[in-house]
Amino acid sequence: MEFTNYLERKRQDVDRFLESVMPKEATAPETLHKAMRYSLFAAGKRVRPILAIAAYEAIGGSSPAILPCAAALELIHTYSLVHDDLPAMDNDDYRRGKLTNHKVFGEALAILIDRVSFLEARVNHLQVRARKTASAECVFPDCEETTERQAP
């Protein structure tokens, strides 16, 4: 039961963080952001970001510091699912119990959002580095090589 509670708490943490950094549906261009959010917030388990959080906590880090990196993992994972569902790939109709992105928003927009989601993940990671909390610095806080490195 404790493990299940941990997973749920961390999933909620990741969802709250994603909600705070992702553009709202009403933000222009609305259709693009609606399509991105449709797939990103489609009841995923958040296994990849939770594994990143758990690994970071195992070496003494606190989960808020790793959330940007964990969120980037989820963005990349979601983009890969949207891409995999496209007609030229698996041509799936459903993902996570909902119509796939290309079935709801069309193939062209699904292709665009998988590219934008990947870019959003990269921008998110670069913002982390700019604040000098890059993943290497987060994971190895006592390593002179990583802590003395300057942000780009």
What are 34-63's pLDDT values in tens digits? 999 999 999 889 999 999 999 999 999 887
Rounded to the nearest integer, the mean pLDDT of the chain is 81
pLDDT at residue 90 tops 90: yes
pLDDT of residue 141: 45
pLDDT of residue 128: 56
pLDDT of residue 124: 61
pLDDT of residue 53: 95
Pick from 4-13, 23-32, 34-43 the range whose average pLDDT is largest: 4-13
Query: Residue 106 corresponds to which amino acid?
Result: G
pLDDT of residue 146: 36
* Superfamily of domain 2-147, CATH level 4: Farnesyl Diphosphate Synthase (1.10.600.10)
Residue 152 preceded by cis peptide, ω within 30? no
Torsion of CA 53, 75, 124, 118, to 10 degrees: 140
Bridge partners (DSSP) listed for residue 94 = 99
pLDDT of residue 125: 55
pLDDT at residue 116 tops 80: no
pLDDT of residue 148: 38
pLDDT band at 142 (very low <50, low <70, confident <90, very high): very low
